[in-house]
Amino acid sequence: MTALRKLSFDAVVIGGGGAGMRASLQMAQSGFKTACLTKVFPTRSHTVSAQGGITCAIASADPNDDWRWHMYDTVKGSDYIGDQDAIEYMCSVGPEAVFELEHMGLPFSRFENGRIYQRPFGGQSKDFGHGGQAARTCAAADRTGHALLHTLFQNNVKHDTTFLNEWFAVDLVRNQDGVVVGVIAIEIETGEVVFVESKATVLATGGAGRIYASTTNAHINTGDGIGMALRAGYPMQDMEMWQFHPTGIYGAGTLVTEGCRGEGGYLINKDGERFMERYAPNAKDLAGRDVVARSMMTEILEGRGCGEQGDHVFLKLDHLGKDILHSRLPGITELSKTFAHVDPVSAPIPVVPTCHYMMGGLPTNIHGQAIMQVDGEDQVIPGLYACGEAACVSVHGANRLGGNSLLDLVVFGRAAGLFIEEQLQQGIEYRAASEDDVDRAMGRLNALDTNENGEDTATLKRELQNCMQNYFGVFRDGEFMKKGRDELTGLGERIANLSITDKSKAFNTARMEALELQNLFEVAESTAISADERTESRGAHSRRDFPVRDDATWLCHSLYDPTTKSLSKRGVNFTPKTVETFEPKERTY
């Protein structure tokens, strides 16, 4: 074994986005030796791109708002495979977590009375769907993610969190008892490989939207935590559930917030028709994202798309007027000019459904503890935690509501922090790792570094992204997905055989991109198998060959086992603690 430098922490959080920094903040402010290990400087994390806001029943826009209404919306939005205990926790604890952010300094927009501004978002209702559209999304203009991420970074600075900035996590270290004892990481600037040992390892590595060719996600969203967990043999839940955001800018993929429609914007086809009135007569443009994305694709496929190719639709905002656009949606105005060459004050923005969010992930309980199943029973994976997009608690089920991702990452980043704190106070110790354990975790990196004349990263990345885009997009079909799976099998062998021509140490981004591509492949493969094997349509998972939701067979989570590459089922929680169960019913908007 190569002698690696070892760093030791009470807790190491992998990922410096919203979830990771909320977790690290929690533990750092209680005085535990906490490291936040992140491959980019924290404020470069993808949370920064969140625009519209954080949905939470803080009862500002409507003094009578109730977290139970938010819970109802979220359960319905999830197409009933969101876990009701977790959704209950998120919606009820949410206000406390959001007020904490405000106390930390987050510059929320305000109403005249000085309270936090809230805007309408898709899938929101009052009175359990009976009271019309709610306005429940707390916003800092259309830069809420930026404001939130910077606020969390600032407060971590205040509380002396140890940041391992620009460190790349390669693989988890497990000991012979199956305990996760830390992670192998590369300090990018020097190329040094280090064993970061910890009593608790938190995966807060975010999403993996880069498995698709067209995505709103940052270049860095490569599912590193998912890859690491799958290689360690841990299961993934609901990986077929990928959200396609209705409004990615056509051609560029950059996000245009749902807040545009919340503020009164709407979608039109080539005839200028507000087509969502046909698909969702009540909520119209503020139906669930899966519903809106499918409606748009249907318009395009039936020949009512816009532009020369008829391959997109328009988002109309000009009727809102310059003042609203500049005060409420300044970032969108900027992005639209840059990437669509359109000023929304005078012309509509060309948009198309674009991969946006991974509802699936590493299954956890509400304390962030990672879960696996042994003989059909849930079992906690000792030492391993997850929160944010990398985790599947699951509060989003088969379709996430807009504004719920920021709430998820704050509430469950915080919850994981609180729980680990409690564990540390009770006195958990470092668990030993043998040389073999560390060597095993080094295997992938060593293979990449010693491989000569292997495959090229950039080429295979494009092939992988095209494969996923072609066969596992908004609409899916069994025959098609079989082809996709075949292609993936071939790609898998080649991606295992990557090599790099640049073997230097200092800031070697070629090495990192190769390791990232292997993570993307793990995500893609679990997505493909889960999508092919869930033989129904639910939420974001829409199959032409199985167009109907099948509660008798599939009112459950899917659980992908990487060791056998097969799918099993895991029960959905239908037993919230303080409210009655929301029973599954037909989902219409």
Q: Which stretch binds other proteins (CB under 8 A): 372-380, 430-438, 494-502, 532-540?
A: 494-502
What radius of gyration, in Å, describes the C-alpha atoms of the chain?
23
Chain centroid offset of residue 570 CA: 20
Least distance to other proteins, CB of residue 199, Å: 28
Confirm or reject binding of residue 143 to other proteins (CB under 8 A).
yes
Q: Which stretch binds other proteins (CB under 8 A): 223-231, 291-299, 473-481, 505-513?
A: 505-513
Residue 448's nearest CA partner among 538, 519, 394 is: 519
Which residue's CB is nearer to other proteins, number 509 or number 575? 509
Q: Which stretch binds other proteins (CB under 8 A): 94-102, 119-127, 258-266, 567-575?
A: 94-102
Indicate which single residue of 1, 5, 6, 105 sits in contact with other proteins (rule: CB under 8 A): 105
Indicate which single residue of 8, 30, 133, 154 sits in contact with other proteins (rule: CB under 8 A): 154
541: its two tokens: 């998972």
Confirm or reject binding of residue 404 to other proteins (CB under 8 A).
no
Residue 392's nearest CA partner among 68, 13, 19, 12 is: 19
Q: Which stretch binds other proteins (CB under 8 A): 39-47, 81-89, 442-450, 565-573?
A: 39-47
Which residue's CB is nearer to other proteins, number 449 or number 477? 449
Which residue's CB is nearer to other proteins, number 197 or number 224? 224
Indicate which single residue of 114, 427, 552, 577 sits in contact with other proteins (rule: CB under 8 A): 114
What does the alpha-carbon distance between residue 55 and residue 69 come to, in Å, rounded to a whole number?
12
Indicate which single residue of 112, 429, 580, 583 sits in contact with other proteins (rule: CB under 8 A): 112
Applying the rule CB under 8 A, the residues between 323 and 342 that interact with other proteins are 331, 334-335, 338-339
Confirm or reject binding of residue 108 to other proteins (CB under 8 A).
yes
Confirm or reject binding of residue 309 to other proteins (CB under 8 A).
no
Residue 28's nearest CA partner among 40, 39, 16 is: 16
Least distance to other proteins, CB of residue 499, Å: 11
Confirm or reject binding of residue 502 to other proteins (CB under 8 A).
yes
Three-class secondary structure of residue 163 per DSSP: strand
Confirm or reject binding of residue 478 to other proteins (CB under 8 A).
no
DSSP letter at 480 equals H
Confirm or reject binding of residue 63 to other proteins (CB under 8 A).
no
Torsion-angle region of residue 147: left (phi > 0), alpha (psi -120 to 50) or beta? alpha
Least distance to other proteins, CB of residue 460, Å: 12
Nearby residues of 544 by Cβ (< 8 Å), 6 or more positions away: 475, 476, 477
Confirm or reject binding of residue 451 to other proteins (CB under 8 A).
no
Q: Is the bond into 394 cis (omega within 30 degrees of 0)?
A: yes
Residue 216's nearest CA partner among 334, 351, 413, 123 is: 351
Q: Which helix (H) or strand (E) holds 164?
A: strand 162-165
Confirm or reject binding of residue 189 to other proteins (CB under 8 A).
yes
Confirm or reject binding of residue 465 to other proteins (CB under 8 A).
no
Q: How many residues bind other proteins (CB under 8 A)?
A: 59
Confirm or reject binding of residue 261 to other proteins (CB under 8 A).
no
Indicate which single residue of 58, 193, 260, 424 sits in contact with other proteins (rule: CB under 8 A): 58
Confirm or reject binding of residue 102 to other proteins (CB under 8 A).
yes
Least distance to other proteins, CB of residue 217, Å: 9
Catalytic residue among 261, 289, 328, 534: 289
Least distance to other proteins, CB of residue 470, Å: 21
Residue 62's nearest CA partner among 145, 1, 137 is: 137
Least distance to other proteins, CB of residue 480, Å: 29
Indicate which single residue of 66, 107, 475, 478 sits in contact with other proteins (rule: CB under 8 A): 107
Indicate which single residue of 6, 110, 322, 482 sits in contact with other proteins (rule: CB under 8 A): 110
Q: Which stretch binds other proteins (CB under 8 A): 106-114, 285-293, 388-396, 467-475?
A: 106-114
The number of CA neighbours under 13 Å toward the Cβ of 302 is: 9
Apex 207 CA angle, 366 and 514, nearest 5: 135
Over the window 274 to 293, marking each residue x when it contacts other proteins by CB under 8 A and - when it does not, the resulting string is: --------------------
Q: Which long-range contacts (CB under 8 A, 24 or more apart) does 280-285 make?
A: 280/588, 280/589, 282/588, 282/589, 283/122, 283/123, 283/133, 283/589, 285/122, 285/261
Q: Which stretch binds other proteins (CB under 8 A): 72-80, 100-108, 429-437, 464-472?
A: 100-108
- Is 68 annotated as catalytic? no
Least distance to other proteins, CB of residue 103, Å: 5
What does the alpha-carbon distance between residue 58 and residue 442 come to, in Å, rounded to a whole number?
47
Indicate which single residue of 11, 116, 208, 287 sits in contact with other proteins (rule: CB under 8 A): 116
Confirm or reject binding of residue 64 to other proteins (CB under 8 A).
no
Nearby residues of 504 by Cβ (< 8 Å), 6 or more positions away: 191
Confirm or reject binding of residue 147 to other proteins (CB under 8 A).
yes
What does the alpha-carbon distance between residue 196 and residue 185 come to, in Å, rounded to a whole number?
7
Applying the rule CB under 8 A, the residues between 218 and 257 that interact with other proteins are 218-220, 254-255
Q: Within 247-381, where are the H helices?
A: 259-262, 276-279, 289-301, 322-328, 330-340
Nearby residues of 461 by Cβ (< 8 Å), 6 or more positions away: 513, 517, 520
Residue 390's nearest CA partner among 355, 353, 357, 356 is: 357
How many CB atoms lie under 10 A from the CB of residue 259?
26
Apex 3 CA angle, 563 and 39, nearest 5: 60
Least distance to other proteins, CB of residue 49, Å: 5
Nearby residues of 428 by Cβ (< 8 Å), 6 or more positions away: 199, 200
User: What is the per-residue DSSP string for 542-568?
Assistant: EESSS-S--HHHHSSEEEEETTTTEEE
Rounded to 10°, the helix 509-533/224-231 angle is 70
Least distance to other proteins, CB of residue 558, Å: 31
Query: Using an 8 Å Cβ cutoff, are 504 and 561 in contact?
Result: no
Confirm or reject binding of residue 509 to other proteins (CB under 8 A).
yes
Write out the residues near other proteins by the rule CB under 8 A.
Answer: 40-41, 43-46, 48-49, 58, 60, 98-99, 102-105, 107-116, 140, 143, 146-147, 150, 154-155, 157-158, 189, 218-220, 254-255, 331, 334-335, 338-339, 457-458, 500-502, 504-510, 513
Annotated catalytic residues are 289
